[in-house]
């Protein structure tokens, strides 16, 4: 398996690490196990990355810049935010300093050109091997209950019309979902099926809306990945875990074809955006006057998880399906090795079980996520031990 180490260097305006401490942590792993790449961002400091690149060369480690795409970039430019079904801007939910979780419309042409121009102005001359594209999605339920039902900006409404979707009727249908007074309804979105990591919905216009979101992300990512490839850069993609990705417009099968590697975030011990328990809990609590526990149980029933959380067995089977049924050969599963109070609660037992599931599934690699500088040495020791035992 390939191994990537992920590092949060700070927001665009605030570098929070120094090279010596970072290299000590990298060497702790690289001297005992193979490391193929370091993913780091998104603080801007050309000299820092040049020195880091030089230091990594002796270990034959690639350098990938971690770049948020449909969020965070309003530090540089004005972006069209996603608009909810009430024609309102979605409010931000920042979980840490330098990360605001404001999301932008992926269909807005000015937004797409902004992303390209920001890279050309600030990063094009960095000595890097690739870009790791994060936040390549619509907002999730963890932003706020209505976040999944975006975007209704003028550009999206026009594009919906061309796709045969009546935006006004769709907005009424969404309002009905949130105003439904049936407290016994454990399937408020009308999910009718789950197959190939996509949900079907019983209402045709809701079903068309989620297909529209998927197509929007696919189309824009195709354009952006072509742009970055034209700069001779390798491409990694940060993705939600497959069983929750479709809500945000991500089709893991399609997106895998655009990248050198994908990182599905199997964050089963994280209680923040992208954390699986947090996202499922946010979904189940998004609908007023409903029993969230019943909604959660019904969700697990649809995705064929018999336990009350995403188990080792389920994760392993999901990865096996991606590998065997869809022949995806670039899956580098993300696992939260960092420990952060009240947010990332991984421990050595959880890490060992997860790594063994990755190994059993035949996954192509692992990303030690999401901040190397906050990973306890005993967590890194677990990976080194298993790497040497299994030659992962």
**DSSP-derived secondary structure for 249-304:** T--HHHHHTT-SEEEEE--TTB-STT-HHHHHHHHHTSSTTS-HHHHHHHHHHHTT
Q: What is the mean pLDDT of each run of 10 residues along the chain (392 residues)?
A: 97 94 98 98 97 98 99 96 93 65 96 99 98 98 92 98 98 97 96 98 99 99 99 99 98 98 99 97 96 98 96 98 96 98 97 97 97 98 94 60
pLDDT per residue as tens digits for the range 91-107: 666 556 567 889 999 99
Question: At 63, phi and psi to the nearest 5?
Answer: -120, 120
**Contacts with 210 (C-beta within 8 Å, 6 or more apart), sequence order:** 199, 201, 246, 247, 249
Any long-range contacts for 221-228 (C-beta under 8 Å, 24+ apart)?
A: 221/133, 221/136, 221/255, 221/258, 222/258, 223/112, 224/69, 224/112, 224/115, 224/116, 224/133, 225/133, 225/258, 225/259, 227/116, 227/119, 228/119, 228/131, 228/133
Distance of CA 58 to the CA centre of its chain: 31
The residues with which 193 forms a beta bridge, in sequence order, are 200
pLDDT per residue as tens digits for the range 273-331: 999 999 999 999 999 999 999 999 999 999 999 999 999 999 999 999 999 999 999 99
Give CATH superfamily name and number for 2-138+213-285+309-390: Glycosidases (3.20.20.80)
Domain spans of the chain, in order of start: 2-138+213-285+309-390
* pTM greater than 0.85 (yes/no): yes
């Amino acid at each position: 398996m390939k191994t990537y180490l992920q590092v949060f260097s700070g927001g665009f305006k605030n570098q929070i690490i120094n090279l010596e401490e970072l290299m000590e942590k990298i060497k702790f792993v690289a001297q005992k196990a193979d490391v193929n790449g370091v993913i780091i961002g998104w603080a801007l400091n050309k000299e820092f990355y040049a020195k880091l690149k030089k230091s990594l060369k002796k270990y034959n480690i690639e350098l990938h810049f971690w770049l948020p795409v449909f969020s965070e970039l309003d530090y540089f430019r004005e972006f069209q935010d996603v608009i909810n079904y009430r024609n309102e801007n979605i409010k931000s939910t920042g979980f840490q300093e330098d990360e605001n979780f404001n999301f932008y419309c992926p269909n807005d042409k000015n937004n797409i050109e902004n992303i390209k121009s920001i890279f050309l102005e600030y990063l094009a001359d960095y000595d890097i091997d690739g870009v790791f594209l994060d936040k390549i999605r619509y907002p999730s339920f963890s932003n706020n209950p209505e976040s999944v039902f975006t975007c209704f900006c003028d550009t999206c409404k026009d594009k919906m019309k061309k796709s045969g979707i009546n935006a006004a009727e769709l907005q009424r249908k969404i309002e009905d979902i949130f105003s439904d007074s049936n407290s016994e309804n454990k399937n408020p979105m009308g999910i009718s099926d789950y197959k190939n990591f996509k949900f079907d919905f019983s209402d045709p216009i809701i079903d068309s809306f989620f297909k529209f979101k998927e197509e929007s992300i696919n189309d824009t990512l195709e354009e952006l990945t072509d742009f970055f490839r034209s700069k001779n850069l390798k491409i990694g993609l940060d993705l939600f875990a497959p069983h929750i990705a479709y809500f945000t417009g991500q089709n893991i099968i399609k997106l895998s074809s655009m990248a050198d590697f994908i990182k599905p975030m199997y964050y089963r011990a994280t209680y923040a955006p992208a954390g699986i328990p947090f996202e499922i809990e946010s979904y189940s609590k998004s609908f007023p006057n409903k029993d969230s526990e019943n909604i959660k149980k019904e969700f697990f029933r649809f995705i064929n998880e018999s336990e009350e959380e995403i188990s080792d067995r389920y994760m392993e089977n999901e990865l096996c399906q991606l590998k065997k049924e869809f022949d995806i050969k670039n899956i580098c599963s993300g696992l939260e090795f960092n420990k952060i109070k009240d947010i990332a609660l991984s421990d050595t037992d959880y890490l060992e079980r997860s790594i063994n599931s990755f190994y059993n599934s035949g996954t192509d690699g692992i990303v030690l996520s999401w901040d190397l500088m906050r990973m306890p040495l005993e967590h890194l020791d677990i990976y080194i031990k298993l790497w040497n035992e299994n030659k992962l």
